[in-house]
Amino acid sequence: MSHPDALMQAAADHLVAVDPAFGPIVATSPLCTLGRTDNQPDTHFASLVKSVIAQQLSTKVADTLTARLTAALEGDVSPTKVLALDEEAMRAAGLSRAKTRTIKGLATAMHSGDLDIDAALAHDDEHRLRSELTALWGIGRWTAEMFEMFTLHRLDVWPVGDLAMRRGWAQLHGLAGDPGARAMDPWGEPLRPYRSVAAWYCWRVVDGDNPSW
């Protein structure tokens, strides 16, 4: 789903109205690009694999490892291909044992139907998918939130577990050091229903115009 510029402008205006600290970064940045379709994996599975690889890594390193794994899979990042690829080949692509195990487990769950993303998205509970994803070994809140933001394009996700986002927030608000996830959780409340957009601007403070997001 691509979000119209008018909605992204309304989101930016809302952030500045409720938290003027966002004024400078909003004024010097383009409109939030959450919802764009370029540079995004073609399938939900491929997107989740990319998020798993990105856990606790820089964007540059994560992109390199994703490209290596994609090459090992002959361009087909699918549950079937991952299950057919031996763990040694995944390790040779640079993946840790933990990430190899997580991606294999995700492939098994989606191939067997134990994880049905479409069914979870159709559920009345908007957090159903996050619950099902985080029930899998190696997939935590951060991975689920990145999927919600960059694949499902949800605008009200608050990824306080992301260190770069917290650093951006700290710089915007003149805070010394990392405020921590627990402290930041309630700080996002006034930013609803555009917390994802707030996080995006926080990332821009730290990473600038990063083409990966």
| CATH number of the CATH domain containing 72 | 1.10.340.30
- Please tell me the predicted confidence (pLDDT) of residue 211: 58
- Please tell me the predicted confidence (pLDDT) of residue 40: 65
Same domain? 123 vs 94:
yes
Same domain? 68 vs 103:
yes
Same domain? 51 vs 138:
yes
Same domain? 140 vs 57:
yes
Chain mean position to CA 143: 6
Same domain? 80 vs 129:
yes
The answer to whether residue 166 sits within a structural domain is: yes
The answer to whether residue 162 sits within a structural domain is: yes
We report the CATH number of the domain holding residue 30 as 1.10.1670.40
Q: Could you list the pLDDT tens digit for every one of the 213 residues in the chain?
A: 578 999 999 999 999 999 999 999 999 999 999 877 665 667 999 999 999 999 988 888 999 999 999 999 999 999 999 999 999 999 999 999 999 999 999 999 999 999 999 999 898 888 899 999 999 999 999 999 999 998 999 999 999 999 999 999 999 999 999 999 999 999 999 999 999 999 999 999 998 776 555
The parent domain of residue 27 ranges over: 5-35+156-207
Is the peptide bond prior to 193 cis by the omega test (within 30 degrees of 0)? yes
pTM: predicted TM-score of the whole model, two decimal places? 0.89
> If you search the block for the tokens 């009200």, which residue do you land on?
156
Same domain? 136 vs 163:
no
Domain count across the chain: 2
Same domain? 25 vs 105:
no
Same domain? 26 vs 74:
no
- Please tell me the predicted confidence (pLDDT) of residue 41: 63
- Please tell me the predicted confidence (pLDDT) of residue 103: 98
- Please tell me the predicted confidence (pLDDT) of residue 212: 58
CB neighbours of 135 closer than 8 A, spacing ≥ 6?
Answer: none
Q: Which of 108, 129, 150 is the last residue of a domain?
A: 150
Which H, E and C letters describe 82-137, residue by residue? HHHCCHHHHHHCCCCHHHHHHHHHHHHHHHHCCCCHHHHHHCCCCCHHHHHHHCCC
The answer to whether residue 213 sits within a structural domain is: no
Q: Which of 108, 126, 150 is the last residue of a domain?
A: 150
Same domain? 75 vs 127:
yes
Q: Which of 103, 126, 150 is the last residue of a domain?
A: 150
